[in-house]
Chains A and B, each alone.
Chain A
Amino acid sequence: MQNGADSIPETLALVNACLNGDETAWNTFIARYRPVLYSAALAIAKDGCLARELADSLWADLYGTRTDGNGRRISKLATYTGRGSLEGWLRTLLAQEFIDRHRKQRRLLPLDDNAPPLIDDPDRFTEVADPRLNLAFQKALAELKGEDRLILAAHYLDARNLAEIGRMLGLHESTISRRVSKSTRSLRKRTIHHLRKSGIGTKEAAELIAADAGQIAINLRDHLLPLKDAL
């Protein structure tokens, strides 16, 4: 456990007691998790006022401000299943809430007429010229482990650094670095392998990749989405 105090069964027992309206359990819950919640909110929002608002909002949801037909409070705690630690669950709820608010707020921002277009260079979205390379790369990507694809997506799609990805996955950044290198090497190797299977020689396959490297963009998003179909 993150705080070294409770096991998952003990936490579940506490949550169930809170849901059943046990005030002692609720007081225990407050004492243990309120500081966790507020410090996590501050780490996520990086702004005191916003953090407090975020944490208060979640705290209200956890306590339950509405009641069901039997007069029981409808608490967000009821959705905790014990799959992860309660602290981790609370942090994730805060992160979800923060992202939701951020996206809502972004949608409400007025449009700037002088803002650059979302796609400033449509030519860069050119599909791979050779469909055989496109298909081979797609298969190679699908053959990577899910976690390796996640690391690549976080690194190259979201531009997260190795330390950030390491924190996401509970791994050291040097491990992430090794896996990024290994995955990209594997991608190239497997792409050549699939090109060869389609009747292209090894040298020609390598040349095809090298030729396309500087000028053609593979639509990674389209490759990441239908992975299961490709397999």
Chain B
Amino acid sequence: MNERQQILPLLRSHLRHSQQPEITGHCDAGTLAAFAERTLDRTERDRVADHLSQCQNCRDTLALAAEAVPSSPTEMQFHVKGIYAIAALASLCIAAVIFQHAKTLPAAPQQQQQPVASNNPPPVLSFNGPPAFSPRLTGAQVIEPILTVPTPLWRINSSRSPATLEISYTSGRTWAPIRTPDFQPKSVAAEGANVWVADAKGTVLESTDLGLHWRRLPHTVQHRLSAR
């Protein structure tokens, strides 16, 4: 029997048989409601708690009224947990899709493992690797060990002015800027060697060679993309 358990029998043995104390001057409904809602000041809260610890009638009332509260903190906690569970499940599904997609891609030549120098575009002609993802999709790093080439990552570096598009072949350790003439990129998406960047106005540029050459997408295509 540990130290805490030594105290418990002392309490429990009587609790099973104790009778309700006859206390007069029960808490009124407003006080109990305010206590449950934690709106009493500290002094009064202590006084009411003191009474409640001695009065089974008021404890029963408080407990029963608490059961009728539509959304208790515990239930709210359950909802929050449920949201996390759904998010975790969605993440697993996304990871599974990425994993499956990556397995279907052919192996890339070994020379692709060289990091890209900061001002040089990546060796796009020999690129035959897996899909690239924006830095927000960190799942790309999860699948990296099964790939034969480093997965290029893309990001918009907003710390520069103007914001620049950057690529990394080193899992985000080093980044190289990619030129997008007369264009201020706001977001980026990529799949394999295909890269799309959009600006704040919704204009979309497309590159099929990892950012070496760009072309502006017609509005109809942009509309279709934005409708995805």
Instruction: Identify the A interface with B (CB < 8 A).
Output: 2, 39-41, 43-44, 79-85, 88-89, 91-96, 98-99, 118-121, 124-125, 128, 137, 145-147, 149-150, 152-154, 156-160, 163-164, 166-173, 181, 184-185, 187-188, 191, 206, 209-210, 212-214, 216-221, 224-225, 227-228
Contacts and interface: CB of A to CB of B under 8 A. Distances in A.
Interface string B5-45: 11111111111111101010000111111111111100001
Given A83-B30, A167-B74, A98 B64 contact: yes
Contacts of B57: 99
B54 interface: yes
B46 A170 contact: no
A170 B38 contact: yes
Interface of A is mostly: helix
A226 to B, nearest CB: 9
B6 A210 contact: yes
Contact of A43 (B13, B67, B77): B67
A219 B14 contact: yes
B10 A83 contact: no
Contact of B53 (A120, A150, A181): A150
B19 A221 contact: yes
Contacts of A124: 13-14, 16-17
5 contacts: A119-B17, A150-B53, A152-B11, A156-B11, A227-B53
Contacts of A128: 10
A84 B66 CA distance: 13
A137 to B, nearest CB: 7
Contacts of A213: 1, 5-7, 9-10
A156 B65 contact: no
A150 B13 contact: no
Task: Kindly list the 8 A-B residue pairs having the minimum CB-CB distance in the complex, ordered from nearest.
Answer: A84-B33, A88-B33, A146-B49, A217-B13, A84-B34, A95-B64, A149-B53, A146-B50
Interface of B: 1, 3-19, 21, 23, 28-40, 45-50, 52-54, 56-57, 59-70, 72-74, 77
A91 B65 contact: yes
A92 B63 contact: no
Nearest to B58: A96
A150 B50 CA distance: 7
Contact of A84 (B15, B16, B30): B30
B68 A94 contact: yes
B72 A137 contact: no
Given A94-B65, A220-B18, A172 B53 contact: no
A170 B15 contact: no
Given A83-B30, A146-B46, A185-B4, A156 B15 contact: yes
Contacts of A184: 4, 7-8, 11
Contacts of B73: 166-167, 170-172
Contacts of B35: 84
Given A173-B74, A220-B11, A99 B33 contact: no
